[in-house]
Structure 1
Amino acid sequence: MRKLIIIPAYNEESNIVKTVTAIQKNAKEFDYVIINDCSTDRTRQICEEKKYNIVNLPINLGIGGAVQTGYKYAMEHSYDVAVQVDGDGQHDPEFLNIMAEYLLDHELDMVIGSRFIEREGFQSSKLRRIGIIFFSKLIKILTRVEITDPTSGLRMVGKNVISLFAQDYPRDYPEPESVVAVIRRNMRVEEIPVVMKEREGGVSSISMKKSVYYMIKVTLAILIERIRKY
C-alpha cells in the first residue's frame, strides 16, 4: 500500500522545515511531495538545500492548481492513498496513520479530518466558523450528507478520488466544492476527529477582504457542482 502526502506550499519558509520534520517523525510509512507554488520567499531554496522531494511550479497556480499537481504526481507514480497536509504546520501528521486505517477498514473513498467533532485544538476564527457552518448546512441540504468541517484541508483519498482530482479539481478555495464532487459521484465520504494547530507563521490565502468573495464564489461553485451531469 503506497501512501503519499501532498504538501502545497506558497511562501512557507517559516513553516516548511517543521512540517517535513513532523512528517518524517510521525508518518514514516508515507512518502511526501512538496508542491512549491512559485513561492517568492526562500521556500524553494530551503527545500533544495535540505534535499526535500519537491516539484517547483513555473507559475503561481493557486491552492487548487498546486493540490491538483500533487494528485497528478500521485496518479503517475501509482500511489494507492494520497492525503493533503498544508505547509503551514496546522495539520498534525500523528493523525495520518489513524486516517489511513479508517479509510481502508471502512472501505471509503475519502476521509476528512474534522476539528469540530470533539472540538479540541484550534477551532479557527469566529468569522471562518460562521462560513464553515454555512457550507456544512448547504452541503447537507444538497447531498443529505453531513460534513462538519467542509473547509478542512486534511483529506485522505483512495485511488478513485486520486484519479478524479488529477483530472478535475477546483482552482480557488477547493475543499467544499471538491467534497460535493466526490459525494455526487456516489463515493463514500466520512469524517474522523483530529486536532489542528494554529498557523505559526506565513500568511493565510484567505484575507478579510477576500471573505465575501470566498462565500459567494464557493456557494455558486457548490450549486453548479450539484447540478452538473457526468
Structure 2
Amino acid sequence: MRTLIIIPAYNEEKNIGDLLHKILETELDNFDILVINDKSLDSTSEICSHFNVKVIDLPCNLGIGGAVQTGYKYARKYGYQIAIQVDGDGQHDPNYLKTIIELLQSKKADMIIGSRYIEKQGFQSSVLRRVGIRYFSKLIKLLIKEKITDPTSGYRGCNSNVIEILSQYYPSDYPEPESIVYLKRNGFKIMEIPVKMNERLGGVSSIRSFRTLYYMIKVSLAIIIDVLRKSPQKEF
C-alpha cells in the first residue's frame, strides 16, 4: 500500500531536519513524505528543501487543523491508501511507523493512534496538558462509550476510507479529540498502540498554559455539538 507521511510544521527549524533524517532512515517501503509548511517565519521550508521530500508552502497560516487537512486532501488526490500524521516538533518516534502501517494493512482498525499513556514511558507532557488529556479521555468515554487514553495525540495513521472523510471535513482548531468523536459517529474503528514520545527540543508548542482553559472549553463545546447532531451515514 502507498503510504503518505504528513508532517504539519510551523516554525520547526530546530526540529524538522532531524525528524526527516530519522524517517528516511527507517526500513519502510513505498512511502512518501509531505511537509505542510504552515507559513513558518523561520527556515523550516529551506531546511526541508535539502531532503528528497515534498513540501507545500501554505500562503497563510491555517493552524494545525488546516495544515493536516491539506495533507489529507493531497493523499486523497494522489491515491494513497495510508496516511500517517507525524508532528514536526520531533516528539514522535519514527520507529513506530512500521507497526502503524502493518496494523492498517491487516485491517484491524481504520485509524491507529500512538498513545504515550498505555505503558506510560517516555515524555509524558506538561502537568497542565496531562490534566486536559485526562479530561478529554473521560468526556469521550462518556459520549461514545470507548476509552481513548491519549485523545490529543497527533501521532496517528489511517486508511483510505478515513482519508476520504477527513479530506472533506476536519476540525480547524485543536482537531484531535473532536476528530475522534466524528470518526466514531461515522462508524470507524479506532485503535491505540503504546508509543514513547520525546520532549520538544526547540520551538514553542501551539498549546501553552494560558490557553489551556480556552482549549478545553472550545473543544468540549465542539464535541458535544457534534454528538447532538443527527448521526451521519458512512458510505464506504
Q: TM-score range by the shorter chain?
A: over 0.9
Superposition CA RMSD, Å: 1.1
Indicate the residue corresponding to 2:77 in structure 1: 76
- Percent identity over the alignment is 57
Gaps of 5+ in 2: none
TM-score, normalised to structure 1, is 0.97
Per-residue deviation, 1:228:
2.1
Q: Counterpart of 1:133 in structure 2: which amino acid? A: R
Indicate the residue corresponding to 2:170 in structure 1: 169
Question: Matched residue of 1:123: which SS?
Answer: coil
Indicate the residue corresponding to 2:225 in structure 1: 224
CA deviation map 1:32-70 (0-9, x unaligned)? 100000001111122224453100100100000000000
Counterpart contact for 1:86–1:153, Cα < 8 Å: yes
Q: Distance in 1 between matches of 2:137 and 2:48?
A: 36
Please show how residues 123-142 of structure 1 align to structure 2 within 5 Å: 123-142=124-143
1:214–1:58 CA distance, 2 compared to 1 (3 A): same
Per-residue deviation, 1:27:
5.0
Question: Matched residue of 1:149: which SS?
Answer: coil
Between 1:92-101 and 1:106-115, the stretch displaced more is 106-115
CA deviation map 1:89-141 (0-9, x unaligned)? 00011001111112232431101110000111011111111110110010001
Please show how residues 30-109 of structure 1 align to structure 2 within 5 Å: 30-109=31-110
Indicate the residue corresponding to 1:179 in structure 2: 180
Q: Counterpart of 1:143 in structure 2: which amino acid? A: I
Counterpart contact for 2:20–2:51, Cα < 8 Å: no
Indicate the residue corresponding to 1:152 in structure 2: 153
Counterpart contact for 2:8–2:38, Cα < 8 Å: yes
1:132–1:21 CA distance, 2 compared to 1 (3 A): same
Please show how residues 176-215 of structure 1 align to structure 2 within 5 Å: 176-215=177-216
Q: Distance in 2 between matches of 1:224 and 1:99?
A: 31
Q: Counterpart of 1:94 in structure 2: which amino acid? A: N
Q: Distance in 2 between matches of 1:185 and 1:107?
A: 17
Q: Counterpart of 2:134 in structure 1: which amino acid? A: I
TM-score, normalised to structure 2, is 0.95
